[in-house]
């Protein structure tokens, strides 16, 4: 067993690949969704079991695996009294995501220098203008043959969220092995409607579909995308796909969140927080 302490400067993917080269028979990482995705991709590529330790800031993936995000060390029980699950991975072009990929308005929000330090305030400040202003992105998407256009934002999740998003509890996915992507599309016609969406009022600006593959394109050569909360630029069009059962995950046999149902209320502020990598109220 080898443990490497991360100080923020290391290349996590390179460390995982080196571990495989040195004969590792399991990979594990402590971190949030973005870090988990980097190591999960290496594990899946070598068909190695992967252990999730929820030590990051959000940990949607760990939550939906039933892990206790308040007790990261409990995940280590998966080594001694664990079970193995086969779960899906999502891809946006060649980038893996375990939670979601966000396009359009949210792709722009995460580029704001203030975003890291004040995510909620930054999003509430910039979102209505980004949705309706002169520079508002316009996206088109095809989800398994279903075409949707005139979109301002698009959220693609690795497996669908229950009823889009649970307003009473953090956003949950009932399954991580459906082989489907969840797609939430946003259309707005004016600033007032955008403001209602941000504040949670009923607006009718959401379109929801599930698909195995989603193609997203815009009017520019590249698209800003938030991959599990991390900003990247990807060439347009971006093909998002599900890789069913691509990842072997080792989890404790007894997990406090296993089997908890997803919620029943669609709530745009919760969609917003998921796109930003948040689960707080």
Residue with token string 């919620």: 263
Q: Mean pLDDT, to the nearest integer, of 214-227?
A: 93
Confidence band for 156, pLDDT divided at 50, 70 and 90: very high
Phi/psi of residue 74, nearest 5 degrees: -65, -25
pLDDT at 115: 39
For the chain, how big is the Rg over CA atoms in Å?
Answer: 18
What torsion, rounded to 10 degrees, do the Cα atoms 74, 75, 77, 82 define?
A: 140
pLDDT at 138: 83
Residue with token string 């069009």: 237
pLDDT at 100: 93
> 121 or 98: whose pLDDT is higher?
98
CA–CA–CA angle 95, 99, 100 (5° rounding): 65
In this model, does residue 58 exceed pLDDT 50? yes
**Sign of torsion over alpha carbons 57, 167, 268, 240:** positive
Choice among 5-9, 17-21, 194-198, 207-211 with the minimum mean pLDDT: 194-198
Nearest to 269 by CA among 190, 191, 168, 174: 168
Rounded Cα distance, 225 and 103, in Å: 5
Domains defined for the chain, CATH in brackets = 12-87+248-252 (3.40.50.10330), 96-244+261-275 (2.60.200.40)
């Amino acid at each position: 067993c080898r443990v490497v302490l991360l100080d923020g400067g290391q290349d996590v993917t390179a460390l995982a690949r080196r571990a495989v080269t040195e004969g590792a028979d399991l990979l594990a990482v402590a971190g949030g969704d973005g870090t988990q995705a980097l190591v999960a991709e290496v594990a899946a590529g070598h068909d190695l079991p992967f252990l999730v330790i929820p030590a990051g800031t959000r940990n949607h993936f760990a939550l939906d695996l039933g892990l206790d995000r308040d007790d990261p060390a409990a995940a280590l029980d998966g080594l001694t009294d664990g079970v193995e699950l086969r779960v899906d991975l999502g891809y946006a072009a060649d980038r893996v995501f375990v939670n979601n990929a966000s396009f359009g308005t949210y792709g722009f929000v995460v580029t704001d220098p203030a975003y890291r330090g004040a995510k909620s305030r930054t999003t509430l400040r910039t979102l209505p203008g980004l949705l309706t202003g002169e520079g508002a992105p316009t996206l088109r998407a095809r989800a398994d043959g279903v075409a949707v256009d005139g979109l301002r934002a698009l959220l693609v999740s690795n497996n669908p969220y229950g009823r889009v998003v649970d307003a009473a509890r953090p956003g949950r996915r009932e399954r991580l092995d459906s082989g489907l992507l969840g797609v939430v599309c946003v259309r707005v016609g004016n600033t007032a409607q955008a403001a209602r969406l941000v504040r949670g009022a009923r607006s009718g600006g959401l379109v929801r579909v599930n698909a195995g593959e989603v193609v997203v394109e815009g009017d520019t050569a590249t698209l800003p995308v938030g991959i599990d909360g991390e900003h990247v630029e990807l060439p347009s069009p971006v093909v998002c796909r599900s890789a069913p059962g691509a990842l072997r995950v080792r989890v404790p046999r007894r997990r406090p969140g296993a089997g908890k149902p997803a919620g029943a209320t669609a709530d745009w502020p919760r969609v917003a927080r998921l796109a930003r990598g948040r689960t707080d109220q």
